[in-house]
Amino acid sequence: MKKQKPKPTNLLAQNKKAGHDYNILETYEAGIALSGTEIKSVRAGKVNLKDGFARIRNGEAWLENVHISPYKEGNQFNADPLRNRKLLLHKKEISKLTGVVQEKGTTLIPLRMYLKHGYAKVLIGVGQGKKLFDKRETLKRKDQDREMQRALKNARN
């Protein structure tokens, strides 16, 4: 049986569509630079990773198009919900990601956002876009696996 990765206990947001649209080749854990009211909103789970992506610019990693809702009690201290946020990675990781992203068809996608030791972390995946027939094949394989598990379960009972 396939060994599953342990899921973070403090999961705040998850990009479920990423697994459907991309083949995830590698994952990296990155910190994220947030303002005071943004971290409060993140801890409340007001994050949407659906259309987000990461980009390497001037030797720095940036998280773009991720919506963090304004904090309810933040009034004038709230930042723009869609602003670009800096990802905190080591230089070696950034240089490796720069080389990987320059290949045609690969992109950086935020997969999950969670809390680890009180800090907000983002799981970034290096993804390669799937074609329509790949998506159909994946769905077909999932259905077959599900049917097989049902048959095995019914055979045991």
The CATH number of the domain where 118 resides is what?
2.40.280.10
Tell me which residue range forms the domain holding 113. 11-130
**Tens-digit pLDDT profile for residues 3-12:** 555 555 688 8
Task: Quote the number of domains for the chain.
Answer: 1
Q: Is residue 46 part of a domain?
A: yes
Q: Is residue 5 part of a domain?
A: no
Pick from 65-74, 117-126, 133-142, 148-157 the range whose average pLDDT is largest: 117-126
Q: Return the residue matching tokens 């309810």.
A: 72
Q: Is residue 87 part of a domain?
A: yes
Q: Is residue 143 part of a domain?
A: no
Q: Is residue 56 part of a domain?
A: yes
Mean pLDDT for the stretch of residues 63-72: 87
Amino acid letter, 14:
Q
Q: Is residue 78 part of a domain?
A: yes
pLDDT of residue 6: 54
Contact partners, residue 63, CB within 8 Å, separation at least 6: 32, 52, 53, 54, 84, 85, 86, 87, 110, 122
Q: How far apart are CA 52 and CA 65, in angstroms?
A: 5
Mean pLDDT for the stretch of residues 69-78: 77
pLDDT of residue 1: 46
Q: Is residue 155 part of a domain?
A: no
